[in-house]
């Protein structure tokens, strides 16, 4: 294969996503996405700060570029790892396209032909939540994620009223789905460890498949203590930015499922390493994916080649603006995404839509509790 060099990068802000395109001198183009969706503007600026290094470099040296960009300035963190993640995904896309194979073929080959997905159910009222969950079941999904908390959770004045409302919501969905669908309970870090343990005990009769983010991800040791006290399988890790953080989480026994975000945790390369760390501890992988179809496509490449895959977060790609962003989305059949056979990550931008779709301005905002304090979403 004839050598080529990176010629330029382009970045795009669409909705709350920060998207990347890397051009090579031979005309090969790779696409990626950075995952710090709360700060897409600074992430975009970080990518352009890295462009002078990338120009003229060999795109095949994926690991080398990631090591240099992460370690050269002595500063790490989400903006850096998010930008490197976008670059990593785009460089894997380039390598797959230049070799004419899907990325999973370069990472050990397929372990499965299709990827089981969970989808979100929503509804502020109990009836709306149950109705939406039933619609998702009818669409073929066998795993459904939802919050046990109503939209006014932050206004409850006692833990008992908050927890009772959560138990009612989970119980109603469990009964409506008649045991045919796995329930994925998303806590969104809205509780402290003591509250999470107490609520978990009350949710045990509904047998959740996972109990996600029961506390802030700032202490692997405390997460380990929480998992030891909690009889539900914890899923966490979507905010982690390196394999070193995953190593600490796993060493503490802090979860039964890890949730790497491919657009945050050093891309396909870093997430594959995190999956291998989890595999050694018999922990399965549920990639985090609240972003664009680029994130979804990258996740499926990972899911296809790891042996310890469990579920893939899928937020639906038939609605605006996702449906317009790519030329042909991945194929969803009965709650499963089919593993694509095309080169790279298997999708291409729709250039016309890419140029016209607007960005969403992100203004820092949090819910405020009844006592005036900041509450996590």
Active-site residues, by number, are 188, 288
Q: In the numeric block, which tokens belong to residue 83?
A: 């930008």
What is the DSSP annotation of 2-53?
----EEEEEEEEEBTEEEEEEEETTS-EEEEEE--TTSHHHHHHHHHHHHHH
* Enclosing H/E stretch for 64: helix 62-71
Cα–Cα dist 276/107, whole Å: 12
Instruction: Name the residue among 282, 276, 326 with its Cα closest to residue 302.
Output: 276
CA distances (Å), origin 355, targets 8, 10, 351: 18, 12, 6
Q: Hey, what's the torsion of the CAs at 53, 293, 347, 91, to 10 degrees?
A: 20
Long-range contacts for 191-194 (Cβ within 8 Å, ≥24 apart)? 191/215, 193/222, 193/225, 193/226, 193/229
Those residues with Cβ within 8 angstroms of residue 32's Cβ, 6 or more apart along the chain or in another chain: 19, 20, 21, 22, 85, 86, 87, 88, 89, 90, 91, 93, 263, 267, 294, 298
Can you read off the two tokens belonging to residue 74? 């002595």
Q: Which residues contact 149 (CB under 8 A, 6 or more apart)?
A: 162, 165, 166, 169, 187, 188, 190
């Amino acid at each position: 294969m004839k050598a080529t060099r990176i010629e330029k990068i382009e970045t795009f802000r669409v909705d709350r996503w920060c998207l990347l395109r890397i051009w090579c001198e031979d005309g090969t183009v790779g696409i990626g996405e950075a995952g710090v969706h709360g700060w897409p503007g600074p992430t975009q600026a970080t990518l352009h700060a890295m462009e002078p290094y990338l120009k003229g470099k060999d795109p095949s040296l994926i690991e080398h570029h990631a090591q240099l960009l992460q370690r050269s300035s002595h500063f790490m963190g989400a903006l850096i790892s998010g930008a490197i993640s976008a670059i990593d995904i785009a460089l894997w896309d380039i390598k797959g396209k230049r070799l004419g194979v899907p990325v999973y073929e370069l990472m050990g080959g397929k372990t499965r032909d299709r990827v089981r997905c969970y989808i979100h159910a929503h509804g502020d009222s109990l009836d709306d939540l149950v109705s939406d969950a039933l619609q998702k079941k009818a669409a073929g999904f066998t795993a459904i994620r939802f919050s046990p908390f109503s939209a006014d959770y932050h206004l409850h004045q006692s833990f008992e009223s908050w927890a009772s409302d959560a138990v009612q919501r989970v119980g109603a969905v469990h009964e409506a789905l008649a045991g045919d669908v796995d329930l994925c309970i998303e806590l969104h870090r809205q509780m402290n460890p003591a509250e999470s343990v107490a609520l978990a005990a009350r949710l045990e009769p509904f047998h959740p498949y996972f109990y996600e983010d029961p506390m802030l991800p700032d202490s692997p040791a405390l997460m380990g203590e929480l998992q030891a006290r909690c009889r539900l399988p914890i899923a966490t890790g979507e905010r982690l930015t390196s394999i070193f953080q995953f190593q600490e989480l796993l060493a503490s026994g802090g979860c039964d499922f890890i949730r790497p975000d491919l657009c945050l945790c050093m891309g396909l390369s870093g997430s594959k390493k995190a999956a291998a760390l989890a595999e050694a501890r018999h922990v399965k992988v549920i990639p985090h994916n609240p972003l664009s179809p680029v994130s979804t496509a990258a996740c499926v490449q990972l899911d296809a080649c790891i042996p310890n895959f469990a579920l893939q977060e899928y937020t639906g790609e038939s609605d605006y603006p996702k449906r317009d962003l790519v030329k042909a989305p991945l194929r969803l059949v009965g709650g499963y995404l089919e593993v694509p056979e095309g080169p790279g990550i298997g999708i291409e931008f729709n250039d016309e839509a890419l140029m016209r779709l607007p960005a969403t301005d992100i203004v820092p905002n949090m819910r405020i509790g009844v006592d005036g304090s900041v509450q996590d979403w």
